[in-house]
Amino acid sequence: MALLEVLKFPDPRLRHKGQMVEKITPELQELAQDMLETMKSQNGVGLAAIQVAQPVRLLTADTSSELSDPSEENSRYSTSELKKDLVAHIKQPLILFNPEVIKKEGQVIFPEGCLSFPSYFAKIKRAEIVEVKALNEEGQEVLIKTDGLLSICLQHEIDHLDGKLFIDHLSPIKSQRLKEEIKKNGYPDKSATA
């Protein structure tokens, strides 16, 4: 396994769209494992292949810390406001190929971050519950109905596979303000946050 470089905004490759995966090859399975490792090494809860410069429809996710760590000390997300009835039954981490939202319910506003925008957060409106159809790492079709942080995470990562970023959900003024802030302050030095 290997740690991969995560592209940072405004890298133009973050605007690329992922290709449908026709066949889950050993290379793609290895990529998925590397993505999981990379995601965890940066305390992320989700990662899309687009973010590691691989234009395929593949994402990894693991929000289990929202359930196992009620103190939230080790999590950068406070999820106490979110409904978690469905997410509690889902086995994580998830590796999903060709994920697609087929149903949405309700609405929730939550401060999201992104490994391509380290240390920046913005409140985004999303569906509260989603049903996602995908292939698992063995190529079997799976249907995941979830709430909680996982619902937000899956919507966020599927956006990445279409070249869409969380800032695209903000009003033009708020999005511009965040872009200017990034331009001015940049991203934190890895050694400084470790």
Closest-CA residue to 96 (of 144, 64, 129): 144
Query: Judged by CB under 5 A, which stretch of 21-29, 78-86, 99-107, 113-121 contacts Zn ion?
Result: 113-121
Query: Judged by CB under 5 A, which stretch of 52-60, 73-81, 114-122, 180-188 contacts Zn ion?
Result: 114-122
Beta carbon nearer to Zn ion, 84 or 160? 160
Residue list 169-188, contact with Zn ion (CB under 5 A): none
Beta carbon nearer to Zn ion, 17 or 70? 17
Which structure tokens are listed for 163? 């070249």
**Smallest separation (angstroms) from Zn ion to the CB of 33:** 19
Please indicate whether residue 137 is annotated as part of the active site: no
Query: Judged by CB under 5 A, which stretch of 9-17, 20-28, 107-115, 184-192 contacts Zn ion?
Result: 107-115
Beta carbon nearer to Zn ion, 114 or 161? 114
Give Cβ neighbours of residue 77 (< 8 Å, ≥ 6 apart): 45, 66, 111, 113, 149
Which structure tokens are listed for 191? 């050694």
Scan for tokens 């409904």, then name that residue.
83
Q: Which helix (H) or strand (E) holds 184?
A: helix 172-185
* Distances in whole angstroms, Cα of residue 65 to Cα of each of 40, 70, 179: 11, 8, 29
**Smallest separation (angstroms) from Zn ion to the CB of 63:** 13
**Under the criterion CB under 5 A, does residue 114 sit at the interface with Zn ion?**
yes
**Smallest separation (angstroms) from Zn ion to the CB of 47:** 8
- Fill in the amino acid letter for 167: I
Contact criterion met (CB below 8 Å) for 160 and 59: yes
**Smallest separation (angstroms) from Zn ion to the CB of 5:** 15
Task: Give me the active site residues, please.
Answer: 157
Binding stretches for Zn ion (CB under 5 A): 114
